[in-house]
Amino acid sequence: MESWQQNLSRWTSHPRLDDQIKAELQEKADDEQWLIDGFYTNLAFGTGGMRGEIGPGTNRMNVYTVRKASYGLAQFVKKNATEPKVVIAYDSRHFSPEFSLEAAKVLGTEGVQVFLFEALRPTPMLSFAVRHLNADAGIVMTASHNPPEYNGFKVYGNDGGQLPPHPAEALVKEVNSVEDELQIEVKSEDYLRQQGLLNFIGTDIDEAYTKALSQIALQPSLYTAGIPLSVVYTPLHGTGLLPFTQSMKTLGFEALHIVEEQAIADGDFPTVSSPNPEEHAAFEMAISVGDRVDADLLIATDPDADRVGLAVKNDTGEFQVLTGNQTGALLLEYVLQQRKTQGVLPANGIVMKTIVTSELGRAIADSYGLTTEDTLTGFKFIGEKINQYNASKEFQFQFGYEESYGYLIDDLARDKDAIQASVMAVEMALHYKQQGKTLYDALQELFQRYGWYKEGLTSVTRKGKRGAEDIEQLMHLFREQPPETIAGMRVEAIEDYAQKEVRNLMTDTTEPIQLPASNVLKYRLADEAWFCLRPSGTEPKVKFYFGVKEISEDKAVSKLQAIEEDVMALVKTRM
């Protein structure tokens, strides 16, 4: 592998280096650490694609790293299809349109027919379009909810889902075999359009997607029943505005208020510190509008509209932002309840969630006689299972979700779909409002019925080469020197997803884990409490997940806090 100095020299000596990149390298010529971080390695192209800070360097998102990824994808699809087709969408991030066109030009130059959205569209619409157009792959230029300096390149397979491990590894091999990203040649946009290799799409896909969305309604009459429900929606400067408002219009729901300042697509995300509905601060402007119009429900989608957060009025009349686990539990209960009432809930129905998602979902599914299956973190694993069971007929997919605000109700898309979830959230709120209840009331009823489940999430960010080493060392120490007790509770079992085994410390036995290997550690404590460590695959951070179940809210909050404090104190001594 080349040193950072060799990579830098290769770039600065390239005769046709992009002028903007050349100028930035000259400006930063004395900032050695910045140069090291940009050139010490290649931007990792993993099983879901790549994501990184925008800027010059082999380890950043720029026209050349996009060309490299696109060239690898072109070789991959040509080996798997005789007349390959790829769909490309992009969000509101900086350089998303430019990177998308560059990817299209590389693919077209390699003889792959490309269907590029004419303007920004959400990730779930790309997933839908891949299947609708019978394409062989898809790309979304997005960094989801990351800060403004990031962008990314997400790859989808012919089923509209992110690639599962085996084909993903084949794609990664193709990308990594590109020796010099600076030498990839591309033909002009005009030439590729004339040859039919570059095609622009938009309205037809919008209409097909909106029609499909309207058909997931379980009680379509509720949207036009005149129930006095008021909803505030914000796309957080991203892609969700068009498809969500079109869906609401198609279904006939009119009491929708838009946060106008955040309706404008803008890669700087100027009105929020982070365009992430997982962050309560992202709801500040929506809450202000909600107070003004006396709203019942606030909805926020992230920039590429695959994640959605909800805020509802609590007992004091103030807006409370729900966690991803709480929103998932509400949606799951409502969907299963309605399907059972209507006699369409299959006996072999299955609910899918990730290993770090609340166990409340399993309790709900159990009460309806359904199977729950855990997957690794990442919706691609849920999409893979949907395909598997659609083929085998062993199970019928009913609902899939993850704690990080991602939900799928109908498999018209094969990735988490914030537009679907937002449509269903409005219907769900209408249903309970008709009964004189708020969504907060419905949530309390869930806890009273199934137990007080509480979850927490803490992240530690470590950027650059040194940060990656710190995170690797932390995982090594927790794996080799696991804690015996946490918050006064004994660690009863350790799930090591890298080793693919569960070690039961109470019986001194091990069992295999039937999931792909992943660098994740989960520790099970007494009384259904647990915590988990997982380095992010797309950001320079390690995430710590926590979960408890108790007989009251106070007890759950107290136990969760004690576990979080004890674990993070231990982390501090090891990082």
Residues tagged active-site:
144
The Cα–Cα gap between 320 and 313 comes to 6
Task: Using DSSP bridges, classify how beta strands 371-375 and 349-354 pair: parallel, antiparallel or unpaired.
Answer: parallel
The Cα–Cα gap between 298 and 282 comes to 11
- Taking alpha carbons only, the member of 309, 123, 326 closest to residue 234 is 309
Burial of 489 (0-12, 13-18, 19+ CB in 10 A): middle
Q: Using CA atoms of 160, 137, 173, 146 in order, give the dihedral in degrees to the nearest 10.
A: -60
Sheet containing 349-354: order of strands? 371-375, 349-354, 396-402, 406-408
- Taking alpha carbons only, the member of 364, 357, 359 closest to residue 324 is 357
User: Across the strands, what pairs with 162?
Assistant: 156
Record the tokens describing residue 78, joined without a space: 């040509």
The Cα–Cα gap between 187 and 191 comes to 7
Give buried/exposed letters for 425-442 (b at 16+ CB in 10 A, else e).
bbbbbbbbbeeeebbbeb
Give the C-alpha distances (Å, rounded to integers) separating 197 from 62, 85, 103, 170, 283.
Answer: 23, 9, 12, 24, 42
Q: Residues 204, 120: contact at Cβ < 8 Å?
A: no
CB atoms within 10 A of CB 24: 17
User: Across the strands, what pairs with 231?
Assistant: 256, 297
- Taking alpha carbons only, the member of 321, 278, 277 closest to residue 439 is 321
Q: Give 513's Cβ-side CA count (13 Å radius).
A: 23
